[in-house]
Structure 1
Amino acid sequence: MNIYQHFRPEEREFIDQVLQWKNYVEAQYTPKLTDFLDPREQHILKMLIGENGDVNFQLFGGSLNVERKRALLYPDYLITNEDEFQISLFEINYPTKFVTIEHRQVLGTLMSLGLKRGKFGDILIKDGRIQFFAAKEVIEYIKSNVESIGKAGVKLVETSLGEAISAKELWEENDLTVASLRLDTVISGIYHISRQKSQTFIQQGLVKVNWTLSENPAFHCEISDMISVRGYGRAKIIGIDGKTKKEKWRIIVGKQK
Structure 2
Amino acid sequence: MRGVNADHREAVARIVEQAQRAADSWTVLHSDFHTPPVVADALMVLQRMADVGGVAWGGYSQAERCRVVVGREEMAAEADPSQLGGVAAVEVSGNFMFDPATHRDFLGACLGTGIDRDKVGDILVAGERGAQILVAPTLVEHLETALTQVRTVPVQTRAISLDSLQVRAPQVQELSSVEASMRLDAVASAGFRMSRSKMMELIKSGDVRVNWQSGAKPSTDVAPGDMVSVSGKGRLEVKAANRTAKGKWSVQMVRYL
The answer, yes or no, to whether TM exceeds 0.5 is yes
Q: Does the aligned pair in 2 maintain the 1:56–1:76 contact within 8 Å?
A: yes
Q: Which residue of 1 aligns with 2:149?
A: 148
The answer to whether the aligner puts 1:42 opposite 2:17 as a matched pair is no
Cα 1:11–1:76 change in 2 (3 A) is: closer
Shift of 1:109: 2.2
Distance in 2 (alpha carbons) for counterparts of 1:105 and 1:20: 34
Distance in 1 (alpha carbons) for counterparts of 2:72 and 2:182: 44
Indicate which of 23, 27, 38 corresponds to 1:26: 23
Q: Does the aligned pair in 2 maintain the 1:125–1:165 contact within 8 Å?
A: no
Superposed CA RMSD in Å reads: 4.5
Q: Does the aligned pair in 2 maintain the 1:43–1:224 contact within 8 Å?
A: no
Q: Which residue of 2 aligns with 1:160?
A: 161
Cα 1:180–1:208 change in 2 (3 A) is: closer
Q: Which residue of 2 aligns with 1:73?
A: 70
Aligned pair count reads 243
Q: Which residue of 1 aligns with 2:107?
A: 107
Q: Which residue of 2 aligns with 1:92?
A: 92
Q: Which residue of 1 aligns with 2:55?
A: 58
Aligned-residue sequence identity (percent) comes to 19
Q: How does 1:132-211 map to 2 (within 5 A)?
A: 132-174=133-175, 190-194=191-195
Cα 1:33–1:143 change in 2 (3 A) is: same
Distance in 2 (alpha carbons) for counterparts of 1:220 and 1:4: 21
- Give the TM-score taking structure 1 as reference length: 0.68
Shift of 1:199: 9.3
Q: Does the aligned pair in 2 maintain the 1:66–1:167 contact within 8 Å?
A: no
SS at match of 1:85: coil
Distance in 2 (alpha carbons) for counterparts of 1:46 and 1:102: 31
Superimposed CA distance per residue, residues 203-246 of structure 1 (whole angstroms, 9 cap, x where no aligned partner): xxxx7989xxxxx9x899996564333xxx423566898xxxxx
Cα 1:113–1:188 change in 2 (3 A) is: farther
Shift of 1:82: 3.3
Distance in 2 (alpha carbons) for counterparts of 1:99 and 1:75: 48
Distance in 2 (alpha carbons) for counterparts of 1:63 and 1:31: 19
Q: Which residue of 2 aligns with 1:4?
A: 2
Query: Structure 1 residues 44-53 or 34-43, which shifts more?
Result: 44-53
Shift of 1:195: 6.7
Q: Which residue of 1 aligns with 2:255?
A: 255
- Give the TM-score taking structure 2 as reference length: 0.68
Unaligned stretches of 5+ residues in structure 1? 211-215, 242-248
Distance in 1 (alpha carbons) for counterparts of 2:168 and 2:140: 21
Cα 1:108–1:169 change in 2 (3 A) is: same
SS at match of 1:35: strand
Q: Which residue of 2 aligns with 1:245?
A: none
| Equivalent position amino acid for 1:155 in 2 | Q
Shift of 1:201: 9.2
Query: Structure 1 residues 66-75 or 9-18, which shifts more?
Result: 9-18
Superimposed CA distance per residue, residues 118-147 of structure 1 (whole angstroms, 9 cap, x where no aligned partner): 211111134544211111122233233322
